[in-house]
Amino acid sequence: MPAVLDQRLLRDDPERISRQLARRGLELDLTGLQQIALQERDLEEQRSTLQAEGNRVGKEVGQRIRAGASPNGPEVQELREQGNRLKQQVAGLEEEEKALEVRLREQLLALPNLPSEQTPDGASEADNVERKRWGEPRRPAPGETLQEHWQIAERLALVETERSVRIAQSRFVTLQGAGARLERALISFMLDRHAKRGYTELLPPILVNTASLTGSGQLPKFAEESFRCAEDDLWLTPTAEVPITSFHRDEVIPSDQLPLRYAAYTPCFRREAGSYGRDTRGLIRLHQFNKVELYWFTRPEESEAAHEQLTRDAEAILEALELPYRRLELCSGDLGFSAARTYDLEVWLAGAGAYREISSCSTCGDFQARRANIRLKAEKGTRLVHTLNGSGLAVGRTMAALLENGQQADGSVQLPAALVPYVGSDRLQPTA
């Protein structure tokens, strides 16, 4: 059973973990966890010593018999009894060790990743740091009124909301006609672009087991925000990050195969707990949405450069679609559970007059690899890989941005040139 946070660090320097978690706003006393980790190590050392003694006794039994001692004689019998006592002691220590390991892991699973030293300190999203802007945000001309995407989508008959509530419940939509075609075009466009940049395309299962959600960091923290199949150990995936993490779970990857770079399209499912009252109309916050995910497995010494490249690959989609955006670096208090460092990409929505998140590009260090037991084969033994992930992009939010930024005075929506071959038209027209 792999560890969650580095147990050597927990045993030797719990104050360092506490300091880093305090940067996230978590004030924790780790003394109790440290004691459990120390007890587990002591039991492991005792067990190893007894196992070594048991092996020595077993060898001595063979040596005595080969030297002429009777297999049923007193000296051999005494050694065998000693070996049996040692086996019983080892078994007892193994049970104690296993109980401590389970207890420690259950508590460590609830702790988030430690922030990178490069992550700026801060308490909330108000402390995030803007790193760059691209493109000129469209603003209404004098006398012009820009609509929000849900208004445009309803006017152009791109979505059907009321019937979708009848089919499922609120916060589900059915795309229809040009809306369905545009969604499909965006998915293909994104996957094709990422494939040209060297990503291997995956189409993973969208039902994932508990081990997969635990390995990527969604469980146990976000159980209430996930949809579960009650009669099976299966959940609807909240993001392709989950199945891709487990694509190499419990594997040792040869170092010369790294980095591994994947691009995957999946429908995603989230309850969005605690978000009711926000973005109740349109495509921004739905229980089901489509997303293209980018994911890297890389060597630890290359993960910083990989983070920049993954973020640029997501930005390249926005630039090809001529969508203005900005890059924010999240502060320590606004990081996601599994992230050590994160860049959020926010696209400009002309109708709303605001930037909204469309991609979150994170490096997780060895946090997910430790939970999912993913290692690389090095010259001397093995070590944990580093994982990175980011949306490339959230498809519904991309459609929202296209509708708001491309709206025209005649009621149509102008599409960017890069998307025309996928849609078959350079604009969406109102229906007669």
Whether 38 and 172 map to the same domain: the answer is no
Structural domain containing residue 390: 125-428
Catalytic, out of 197, 285, 326, 427: 285
Query: In sequence order, what are the residues at sequence separation of 6 or more whose Cβ sits closer than 8 angstroms to the Cβ of residue 93?
Result: 43, 46, 47, 50
Q: Is 16 domain-assigned?
A: yes
Q: Is 119 domain-assigned?
A: no
Quote the number of domains for the chain: 2
In tens digits, the chain (432 residues) has pLDDT values of: 344 567 888 888 899 999 999 999 999 999 998 999 899 899 999 999 999 998 998 898 888 888 888 888 888 888 888 989 999 998 999 999 999 888 988 889 999 999 999 999 999 999 999 999 999 999 999 999 999 999 999 999 999 999 999 999 999 999 999 999 999 999 999 999 999 999 999 999 999 999 999 999 999 988 989 999 988 999 999 999 999 999 999 999 999 999 999 999 999 999 874 455 556 678 888 999 999 999 999 999 999 999 999 999 999 999 999 999 999 999 999 999 999 999 999 999 999 999 999 999 999 999 999 999 999 998 888 999 999 999 999 999 999 999 999 999 999 999 999 999 999 999 999 876
Q: Is 359 a catalytic residue?
A: no
Domain stops at, among 50, 83, 108: 108
Q: Is 360 a catalytic residue?
A: yes
Q: Is 188 a catalytic residue?
A: no
pLDDT at 160: 93
Q: Is 319 domain-assigned?
A: yes
Q: Could you give the C-alpha distances from 116 to 10, 250, 313, 362, 365, in angstroms and in order?
A: 17, 25, 22, 11, 9
Whether 386 and 252 map to the same domain: the answer is yes
Whether 101 and 132 map to the same domain: the answer is no
Q: Is 287 domain-assigned?
A: yes
Domain stops at, among 43, 73, 108: 108
Place of tokens 């760059």: 132
Whether 76 and 147 map to the same domain: the answer is no
Catalytic, out of 96, 133, 357, 427: 357
Helix (H) or strand (E) run with residue 428 in it? strand 427-428
Q: Is 175 domain-assigned?
A: yes
Catalytic, out of 116, 226, 332, 360: 360
240: nearest Cα among 184, 202, 272: 202
One-letter amino acid at 248 equals: H
Whether 205 and 277 map to the same domain: the answer is yes
Whether 135 and 24 map to the same domain: the answer is no
Q: Is 114 domain-assigned?
A: no
Q: Is 31 domain-assigned?
A: yes
Q: Is 270 a catalytic residue?
A: yes
Q: Is 115 domain-assigned?
A: no
250: nearest Cα among 215, 206, 205: 215
Q: Return the CATH number at 34.
A: 1.10.287.40
Tell me the three state secondary structure of residue 65. Answer: helix
Tell me the three state secondary structure of residue 186. Answer: helix
Whether 227 and 344 map to the same domain: the answer is yes
Q: Return the CATH number at 361.
A: 3.30.930.10
Catalytic, out of 47, 193, 261, 270: 270
